[in-house]
Structure 1
Amino acid sequence: MPLQYHPLSREFPQFEAQMRALFQADGHFARLAREYEELDKRIYEVEDGRVAMDEMELLGLKMQRVSLKDEVAAMLSNGASK
């Protein structure tokens, strides 16, 4: 399977307009989204071989990404920030 990024816009295409609005209006959402995107880029670089990392550390980053994604999903499905 080819390596690819997992941006929030690809993960939640049905909420693209809502994400743009929340990103500008809600500092908490914006911080979560930026943190998610940074983690996603870091994970990609490790999986692509550009950055060396222990498998357990990589697994920890992936778990953080899933946790952030779940929090973003909850905010989007609630229609409001926490």
Structure 2
Amino acid sequence: MLGENHALFIEFPEMHDKIKELKSQDENFKAMTDRYHELDHKIRGLECNNIPTEDLHFTQLKMERLQLKDKIHSILMN
């Protein structure tokens, strides 16, 4: 769905407290979540505002967001 918010607290609502804890204790985790948020914001901006972008660039942004989401999920599950 275009413009859908994929914020981590929406994607993993049951992990809200753990996300906050890890962000405050682990700089690497915080950097990953910050980059994830940046990508999600950029992708939603492109989708909602119909900003012209190359398909390859758009796909790369979405793939990077997905890879980060997978890494973040893996950390949260450990």
- Per the normalisation by structure 1, the TM-score is 0.88
Identical residues among aligned pairs (%): 31
Assess if the C-alpha contact under 8 Å between 2:23 and 2:29 holds in 1.
yes
The separation in 1 between residues aligned to 2:50 and 2:63, in whole angstroms, is 20
The separation in 1 between residues aligned to 2:51 and 2:35, in whole angstroms, is 19
Is there any run of 5+ residues in structure 2 with no aligned partner, and where? none
| Ranges of 4+ aligned residues in structure 1 off by more than 4 Å | none
Moved more, 30-39 or 45-54: 45-54
Is there any run of 5+ residues in structure 1 with no aligned partner, and where? none
The separation in 2 between residues aligned to 1:20 and 1:52, in whole angstroms, is 35
Work out the number of aligned pairs and report it.
78
Moved more, 50-59 or 67-76: 50-59
Say if 1:20 and 1:11 are closer, same or farther in 2 by CA, change over 3 A: same
Report the RMSD for the aligned CA atoms in angstroms. 1.3
User: Which residue pairs with 1:26 in the alignment?
Assistant: 26
